[in-house]
């Protein structure tokens, strides 16, 4: 051991200098610095490079014009529809995920403890969420395709002349997106609920409130910031996902409502999102318009950066529970 080389320091606060360490330790120290600083540099390089490309290719006209079917870079239009598609998918996914995730997290935290039956059910639910979190998005996408091609769900997507169900629509993609947002919202809510001090519940019970009233009036408001963090993480998973969009959104260049019924037609229609737009316009897709791909990827990265800032801001805000 390095005891011999180590000079016991006198006085407070003096740290042992790496110069007196063994070579092996110095090497590990060097590697640790290299790993930490290297990752920061990689992240910086990605942001700077994408920012450079974004400034180079992104024009306001690009954001406000719709994509066109065209073979040349100049003729393929802008990225308005992908942006709107991403927003619509996010809204659908979050709207479906939040009630499910918050409801089950509340049940786990507040009701899932008492009795053996409940405990095992709680374990089943927790491990199901864990499985959903670990399932690759491409598998979720294929699962969605299998479900929405059932005749039962025909009204939710485009139906061909012969009765074949296409199984691809905003609703189908959004529903599967909700599975992506479910785990972060669930985990954030559950952890928040479990961190609420017991005396807050006891105080509410002592005032004669029922359990569900306590949950609604005391517990849920106090974990609001946790839920917000979870939702933000969920949103960033949804807008960053490509596989589900590629498989389930139909891959049309523009948002194409199924019919003229205002909201339903749109939900049943096909469209495009930022991620699939980047993919289709990269050399891997068909368009081969790398400038458009860079511009869209830059917008996507800005969204993700913004969401990251929001998470940081919410996280720094003191949760209500620590005040009590």
Pick the closer one to another protein by CB: 44 or 151.
44
Smallest gap from Cβ 93 to another protein, in A, equals 14
Which of helix, strand or coil describes residue 77?
A: strand
Residue 58's DSSP bridge partners are none
Q: Which two tokens stand for residue 6?
A: 């180590």
Smallest gap from Cβ 52 to another protein, in A, equals 12
Pick the closer one to another protein by CB: 105 or 266.
105
Smallest gap from Cβ 211 to another protein, in A, equals 5
Alpha-carbon span 201 to 109, nearest angstrom = 12
Pick the closer one to another protein by CB: 107 or 225.
107
Smallest gap from Cβ 146 to another protein, in A, equals 4
Among candidates 94, 319, 301, which has minimal Cα distance to 224?
Answer: 319
CB 176 within 8 A of CB 141: yes
DSSP 257: -
CB 184 within 8 A of CB 230: yes
Contacts of 106 (CB under 8 A, 6+ apart): 189, 193, 215, 219, 220
Smallest gap from Cβ 260 to another protein, in A, equals 28
Pick the closer one to another protein by CB: 80 or 111.
111
Pick the closer one to another protein by CB: 80 or 100.
100
What residue has token string 């003729």?
A: 75
């Amino acid at each position: 051991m390095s005891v011999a080389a180590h000079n016991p320091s006198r006085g407070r606060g003096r740290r042992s200098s790496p110069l007196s360490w063994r070579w092996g330790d110095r090497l590990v120290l060097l590697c640790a610095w290299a790993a930490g600083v290297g990752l920061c540099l990689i992240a910086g390089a990605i942001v700077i490079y994408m920012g450079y490309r974004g400034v180079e290719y992104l024009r306001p006209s690009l954001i406000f014009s719709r994509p066109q079917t065209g073979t040349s870079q100049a003729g393929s239009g802008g990225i308005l529809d992908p942006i709107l598609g991403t927003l619509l998918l996010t809204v659908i996914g979050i709207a479906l995920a939040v009630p499910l995730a918050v409801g089950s997290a509340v049940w786990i935290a507040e009701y899932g403890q008492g009795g053996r039956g409940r405990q095992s059910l709680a374990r089943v639910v927790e491990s199901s969420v864990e499985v959903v979190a670990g399932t690759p998005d491409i598998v979720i996408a294929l699962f969605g395709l299998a479900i929405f091609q059932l005749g039962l769900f025909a009204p939710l997507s485009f139906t061909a002349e012969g009765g074949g169900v296409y199984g691809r629509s905003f609703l189908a993609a959004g529903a599967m997106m909700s599975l992506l947002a479910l785990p972060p919202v669930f985990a954030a809510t559950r952890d928040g609920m479990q961190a609420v001090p017991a005396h807050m519940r006891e105080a509410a019970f002592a005032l004669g409130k029922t359990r569900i009233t306590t949950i609604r009036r005391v517990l849920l408001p106090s974990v609001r910031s946790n839920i917000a963090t979870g939702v933000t993480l969920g949103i960033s998973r949804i807008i960053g996902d490509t596989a589900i969009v590629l498989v389930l959104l139909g891959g049309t260049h523009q948002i194409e409502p199924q019919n003229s019924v205002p909201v339903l037609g749109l939900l049943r229609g096909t469209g495009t999102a930022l991620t699939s737009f980047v993919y289709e316009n990269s050399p891997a897709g068909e368009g081969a318009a790398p400038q458009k791909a860079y511009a869209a990827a830059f917008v996507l990265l800005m969204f993700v950066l913004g969401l990251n800032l929001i998470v940081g801001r919410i996280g720094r805000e003191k949760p209500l529970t620590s005040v009590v």
